[in-house]
Amino acid sequence: MNMDQPNILLIFVDNQPASMMGCYGNDEIFSPHLDELASKGVLFRNAFCPNSMCSPCRASMLTGLMPSQHGIHTWLDDYIMDTWPEGYKAIAEFETLPEKLAKKGYHTALIGKYHLGFADEPQNGFKHWVAMEKGTMESFYDVPMIDNGQRHTAPEHAVDYFTRKSLDYLDKHASPNEPPFFLCLTYPAPYANVPDPDHRYSHQYADLPMNSVPREGLSPELIDWILLCKEKYPDEDFSWYKRLAEQPNDLPAMRRFYAQVSMVDDGVGQVLAKLREKGVLENTLVIYTADHGKSNGQHGFWGHGEDTWPSNMHHSANSIPLLISYPGFAQAGLEVDNLVGTTDLFATILDLADCELESTEPVFGQSFGPLLSGETTEFRDEVFMEQEETRAIRTSEWLFMKRLENTKYGFKDELYDLVNDPDERVNLAQDPNYAEVAAKLSSRVEEFFTIYSNPRWDLWKGGTVKSNSTRPFLWEEVWGEDWTPEF
Amino acid sequence: MATKKPNIVVIYVDNHPGAIMGCAGNPEAYTPNLDRLSQNATLFTEAHCPNAMCSPCRASVLTGLMPSQHGIHTWIDEYYQDDWPDNWNAIDEFDTLPEKLAREGYDTALIGKYHLGNAESATDLFNTCVTMQIGHVQSFYENDIIDGEERYKHPGHSVDFFTDKAIDYIEQYSEEKETPFFLFLTYPAPYGHWPAIQGEPVNRYADRFSDSPMLSVPREGISKQAIDWISILKEKDLDDGEYDVLLRIPNDLPTLRNYYSQISIVDDGVGRVLKALENNNLSDETLFIYASDHGMSLGQQGFWGHGEDTWPSNTHREANHIPLIIKAPDDGNKQKVVDSLVGTTDIYATILDYVGLEMPPIKESPARSMRPLIENENIDWDNACFMEQEETRAIRTSQWLFMMRIQNTEYDFKHELYDLVADPDERVDLAQDPEYADVVSKLSARLNEYFSVYANSRWDLWKGGTVKSNSTRPFLWNETWGDSWAPEY
């Protein structure tokens, strides 16, 4: 067994906060295979994504860069695909994780959602390519797919489709005698924003009281955002924004969302069984994580951190599940409390695959490989996040959200004492007693983004975004009417 | 002495839906006094108010008239009080219940909130007034009180204050054996709006509710109609910066607990008043009525509060269903449950009946005495309630709830029809289903017929009329009836 070159299975799901799994203490979710994976591997209690939208986090996963470095600050809007340059590839200028791994002899595969530009042909060094045409989910059924150049519509639930395609792939490529594989399995679920007809797990959730999602009223920041959208986009279909207020506390919507986790869990079970069957499980680094978290109503909003005005980085929006099993290396049943981020995962995979962490851009991510064995608990105690007008630092003690100042909205910073107020309820940023803490964290955020940003994509310094922003009016107000997205 | 008329005590509270009482089957509500009362009285399980706002219902109970007759279609907004005529009393032109009773030799007292114009003008109707300056409750504490000639601020909880005043009044009149009294005790609670009930409760019932999961209030998302209402207010520039609160309150547990604790404080007051009647040997000779001005959605159907807080307005059960318990004088403390559909105006007629006054002519008032329902087992009763909320007019029967919407607007409002037998939660709107076209046209005809009688063209919004003081959708009436449409007095 060559420990230097493990197979890598990266299961990267869509919109799943860490709290939505049995192994993270949720007794209303049925996730037996994920729970088993956690018991055989390492569970990270404090993993965070750099942004709470799909495309930016996927780009950060594949490049190890922050949004202000790779230029994708929100979801790439499929509805304006016709304005994209021909064959647009959103992160083509970077040497990505699959490219680096391919150089080291890996066979690389993307099976699932891409959402970083046109998905017609393999991108970023992926060789095997089964992807959804679009990134935005409108249904889990009848989804148009591109299977290694062939277009067709998936006959089954999209999660089952990608599971089936992964089993086919592993049948062919998972073997102790074959080159190592890197399978990036990006399920387009649990997702939560599509009406979902019944599936084989729905009945298990039909009468669930949903006590694991705290009952809470809507926040003023959510309502401000919805009403602002109505004002700024009078011609757009307002029903989308309304849903943000209709879904919190809506039991059927919450149950549908939960039930999708069981669909994903089912797929994970089948894929792991296949690795076992092929005799490669012992030499496979299995990672289960999500692009970003998602509030189910916690802090009074539904969904993404950008769905409030101003945007936020509360735990529910940016906390992601992270399970890693790597037999013989990662200690079974270990729970890690250290703060780690998506870009650290990038660095860790390269580390464990014995690749150099080389990049044209500065990379903040560090390998947390040493934490996996349980021999040490030493790791850098900070992660950074950004959501257009908000930039934040989270440490084991503090969450500080810094807001862009030169706007007409008078945005306020937020500071939470995570030791005494783990639910992030009492904003201390305006309390003079905490002025020093706030100032220190504020300058740390500034310092960080001085290094980890490219002026072209640095919204706080006159830069722009790739493809689209969710608040173009803000950037036009701040940087002038000429401000416009680029590619 | 044989002809002595019964004393009348009406406890008329602010925004208490009929379902939130122990005796209505709610396991989380703590209302021991109302529950005990219901064991010795008649509990009406299907009482509905004609409008889901404070001032219109208060006017209806005092006049026996519908909003389109008395002209008050929504809460009278004190913001406009500078425009009000001097010492304006919104129901001045009617021969009101207290005035009728006074002519029969009653002493009449208003103790509590008035909310029908300038509170000082309540003395036009009642001999004794202990009332609040304002109708729009901001807090249960520190309220400005009008007490006869005195004006002062009372620091404590206003429910307790009015209870003390009511007991003083009862004790005083128990001495005067010859004069019957009419006590209209209008608690400004449980109310159900911020800031009055914002945050965890801080009162003697706080502990009872502090960890309550509030499962008796179903958890439900916000409805499209509730969001439409907020967004249209903003669009029409009517957003006073507080409307978004309507989207923030539902599912807020501290608020729900606070609200339930206020119901317990009201219940406490009911218990003390009943005890005072008993202590003064007045129980048997008193007509005692407990009711609320209107209901209140605590998030059911995805909205908070009043039926007018959606776009278009609605008359769902939660908004219009009121508690109603009547203890008739000399009835031997019989426990009875009546499920006939009765309304607020019927309270007016019932009081007249027990006093021995003539019923208002059917052409003039829809009010019907409930006395036959209380006293007889089998009675022929037209089992229907009618409601109106500006652009919505509705009929509720034991089988149907039909909300008819005004048609000549740019908003393309749709009617709604619910089959209350198959769908008691009012979830499946059948109005657009061709199979129910007959039901819709029959109920529409009934509504049209009803409002052709019980509307004064001056106050009939559907026929170019206006409202007293203010409407919550003036833009709609300006759009429908022209720029010159304006409220009157």
B394-453 pLDDT, tens digit per residue, is 999 999 999 999 998 999 999 999 999 999 999 999 999 999 999 999 999 999 999 999
Q: Tell whether A469 is covered by a domain.
A: no
Smallest CA-to-CA distance from B148 within B128, B126, B162 is with B128
Q: What is the mean pLDDT of chain B?
A: 95
Report yes or no: B252 at the A interface, CB cutoff 8 Å.
yes
Can you tell me whether residue B306 is helix, strand or coil? coil
Quickly tell me which residue has 């508690």 as its tokens: B323
Look at B234 and A242 and tell me if their CB atoms are within 8 Å.
no
Look at A217 and B251 and tell me if their CB atoms are within 8 Å.
yes
Q: Of A223, A242, A251, which is closest to B248 when you measure between CB atoms? A: A223
Chain A residue numbers touching B223 (CB-CB < 8 A)? 246
pLDDT in tens, B1-60: 346 899 999 999 999 999 999 999 999 999 999 999 999 999 999 999 999 999 999 999
Chain A residue numbers touching B243 (CB-CB < 8 A)? none
Report yes or no: B198 at the A interface, CB cutoff 8 Å.
no
Q: Tell whether A387 is covered by a domain.
A: no
Q: Is the torsion defined by CA of A18, A22, A27, A31 positive or negative?
A: positive
Q: Range of A180's domain? A: 7-373
SS (H, E, C) B226-245: HHHHHHHHHHCCCCCCCCCH
pLDDT in tens, B356-393: 999 999 999 999 999 999 998 788 999 999 999 999 99
Interface list for chain A against chain B, based on CB atoms closer than 8 Å:
210, 215-220, 223-224, 226-227, 230-231, 238-239, 242, 245-251, 253, 297, 300
> By percentage, how much of chain B surpasses pLDDT 70?
99
Q: Rounded CA gap, B23 and A334, in Å?
A: 54
Burial A172-190 (b: 16+ CB within 10 A, else e): ebbeeeeebbbbbbbbbbb
Q: Of A219, A226, A250, which is closest to B221 when you measure between CB atoms? A: A250
pLDDT in tens, A123-144: 999 999 999 999 888 899 999 9
Q: Tell whether A481 is covered by a domain.
A: no
- pLDDT at B440 (0 to 100): 98
Look at B249 and A217 and tell me if their CB atoms are within 8 Å.
yes
pLDDT in tens, A231-266: 999 888 888 889 999 999 999 999 999 999 999 999
Does A210 have pLDDT greater than 60? yes
Question: Which of the residue ranges A43-57, A69-83, A143-157, A229-243 would you say has the lowest mean pLDDT?
Answer: A229-243
Q: Rounded CA gap, A466 and A46, in Å?
A: 29
- pLDDT at A192 (0 to 100): 84
**Which amino acid is located at B201 in the chain?**
P
The CATH number given to whatever domain includes residue A143 is 3.40.720.10
Q: Tell whether A424 is covered by a domain.
A: no
- pLDDT at A3 (0 to 100): 52
What number is the average pLDDT over the span A206-229?
Answer: 95
Look at A226 and B235 and tell me if their CB atoms are within 8 Å.
no
Task: Identify the closest residue of chain A to B237 by CA–CA distance.
Answer: A231
How many domains does one find in chain A?
1
Look at B231 and A227 and tell me if their CB atoms are within 8 Å.
yes
Look at B252 and A217 and tell me if their CB atoms are within 8 Å.
yes
User: Angle at Cα B204 formed by Cα B200 and Cα B205, nearest 5°?
Assistant: 60
Q: How far is B425 from chain A (nearest CA, A)?
A: 16
Smallest CA-to-CA distance from A325 within A279, A275, A372, A290 is with A372
Look at B222 and A227 and tell me if their CB atoms are within 8 Å.
no
Look at A242 and B224 and tell me if their CB atoms are within 8 Å.
yes
Can you tell me whether residue A380 is helix, strand or coil? coil
Smallest CA-to-CA distance from B317 within B427, B464, B173 is with B427
- pLDDT at B240 (0 to 100): 77
Report yes or no: B238 at the A interface, CB cutoff 8 Å.
no
> By percentage, how much of chain A surpasses pLDDT 70?
99
Look at A223 and B253 and tell me if their CB atoms are within 8 Å.
no
What number is the average pLDDT over the span A270-290?
Answer: 97
Chain A residue numbers touching B214 (CB-CB < 8 A)? 215
Does A1 have pLDDT greater than 60? no
- pLDDT at B19 (0 to 100): 98
In the stretch 381-440 of chain B, residues with CB closer than 8 A to chain A read: none
DSSP 8-state code for residue A179: P
Phi and psi torsions of A185, nearest 5°: -100, 105
Look at B227 and A245 and tell me if their CB atoms are within 8 Å.
yes
Smallest CA-to-CA distance from B136 within B198, B59, B54, B81 is with B54
Q: Tell whether A486 is covered by a domain.
A: no
Can you tell me whether residue B133 is helix, strand or coil? coil
Does B319 have pLDDT greater than 90? yes
User: Domains, chain B, ranges and CATH?
Assistant: 7-382 (3.40.720.10)
- pLDDT at A445 (0 to 100): 98
Does B242 have pLDDT greater than 90? no
As beta bridge partners, residue B138 has none
- pLDDT at A2 (0 to 100): 44
Look at B221 and A246 and tell me if their CB atoms are within 8 Å.
yes
Report yes or no: B200 at the A interface, CB cutoff 8 Å.
no
A4: pLDDT confidence band, cut at 50, 70 and 90? low
Asked whether A124 and A91 are in contact (CB, 8 A), the reply is yes
> What ipTM is given for this predicted complex?
0.90
- pLDDT at A83 (0 to 100): 94
Question: What's the N-to-C CA distance of chain B in angstroms?
Answer: 44
Chain A residue numbers touching B253 (CB-CB < 8 A)? 215-216
User: Cβ contacts of residue B377 below 8 Å, gap of 6+?
Assistant: none
Smallest CA-to-CA distance from A449 within A343, A366, A364, A368 is with A364
DSSP 8-state code for residue B114: -
Tally C-beta pairs within 8 A across A and B.
70
Chain A residue numbers touching B222 (CB-CB < 8 A)? 218, 245-246, 248-249
Report yes or no: B156 at the A interface, CB cutoff 8 Å.
no
Cis check: omega of the bond before A190, within 30 degrees of 0? yes
Does B230 have pLDDT greater than 50? yes
Q: Rounded CA gap, A415 and A313, in Å?
A: 11
Helix residue ranges, H only, B204-361 = 206-209, 224-235, 245-248, 253-279, 317-320, 344-355
The full DSSP string for A323-353 is EEE-TTTSPTTEEEEEEEEHHHHHHHHHHHT
Q: Tell whether A328 is covered by a domain.
A: yes
- pLDDT at A28 (0 to 100): 97
